[in-house]
Amino acid sequence: MLYVDTGVLVALCTNEGKTADVVKWYADCAQELASAAWCVTEFASAMGLKQRTGQLTEEQAQTAWLQFERMCANDLQLLPVDVMTFHRAAMLTMDASAGLRAGDALHLACAMEAKAQGIVTLDAVLAKNAKRFKVKPVAI
């Protein structure tokens, strides 16, 4: 199973600089995909931010949301996040040298908890930390 960071899901459902690469990766991917249930809130937040900053219209955000919901229903296992995983993420963020933000630390902690074979991310800091904890970053 590959763990998918929300940034990849946003790039898959909206038009971003890496969208073409993410679409190709997704089309070629045969592995089971999973992400923390937290990605639903994070994805919705990204849609709101993109609307507030003029990157998406309300209609485009709704279209992206529907595409995301279809992906969650068909191709993406949503993993529950337990209290100890939140604690592990907190400890990851406490290490200032890691440079992890809370959301990325939670994704990494969830990937480790799920014993994911790899983590799919566009974030260089998350990828570096995943490698540090023996979770293979998947290049897109």
Largest CA distance in the chain: 40
Residue 40 has pLDDT above 90, yes or no: yes
pLDDT band at 105 (very low <50, low <70, confident <90, very high): very high
Q: What is the mean pLDDT of residues 5-16?
A: 97
Overall average pLDDT of the 79-91 stretch: 96
User: Does the 2-138 domain belong in CATH 3.40.50.1010?
Assistant: yes
Structural domain boundaries of the chain? 2-138
Instruction: Examine the pLDDT at 139 and tell me if it is beyond 90.
Output: no
Closest C-alpha among 29, 30, 42, 36 to residue 4: 36
**Mean pLDDT, residues 98-125:** 97
Please, what is the average pLDDT of the chain? 97
Asked if 122 and 5 touch (Cβ cutoff 8 Å), the reply is yes
Mean pLDDT for the stretch of residues 84-108: 96
For helices 6-13 and 38-52, what crossing angle results, to 10°?
A: 50
Distance CA 89, CA 15 (A): 30
